[in-house]
A and B are shown apart, each in its own frame.
Chain A
């Protein structure tokens, strides 16, 4: 069945540096790739998404890239800030939506 692998499981970066989280998926029919941010004790919230007809999308400090041939997509956060500390989930969707296991991002002062 569909599988989404997410790496790393934990990531610590210095405030102001960039953070990159990578996901791979198995179902080549997947056509929608959202990223959710979940702060401690809170609900997941969509931060950015990309569809299979687009290779890259940017929203201020956040960007997502998609390589359909290799079946992987990545989240890039630039100029990280303390409020970026959270768990980030990728997901891939076509018939089913499957979430990655999450990446716990720590922004170090």
Chain B
């Protein structure tokens, strides 16, 4: 298995533009997590899906952020409109179970909003 796949790996965009990050979890995993990592705030859980259903989105910063999981093999995290403070590394992770199982992280997307 190729592991968790994320695209793009790097994204540079201007403030106000829409950004879409993509994730393909490991085949057979039924949980998917989106994280944001910054120096100041560390690793923050944004949203967690189980069997394609959002279970916990309490970490989503505000309405500018939205996430979808239309099927078991694909998820998107969208920021619209983007702001400079959204600059961070966004990780997607998947696991076989829920929050008490090992999570496998993707390589991350480094987002820079100018």
Contacts and interface: CB of A to CB of B under 8 A. Distances in A.
B99 A93 contact: yes
Given A97-B45, A100-B42, A101-B42, A51 B100 contact: yes
Q: Give the size range of A's interface with the partner.
A: 20 to 34
A34 B102 contact: yes
Interface stretch (B13-21, B68-76, B79-87, B103-111): B103-111
Q: Give the size range of B's interface with the partner.
A: 10 to 19
Interface string A52-80: 00000000000000000000000000000
Interface string B46-81: 001000000010100000000000000000000000
Nearest to B103: A46
Interface string A4-20: 00000000000000000
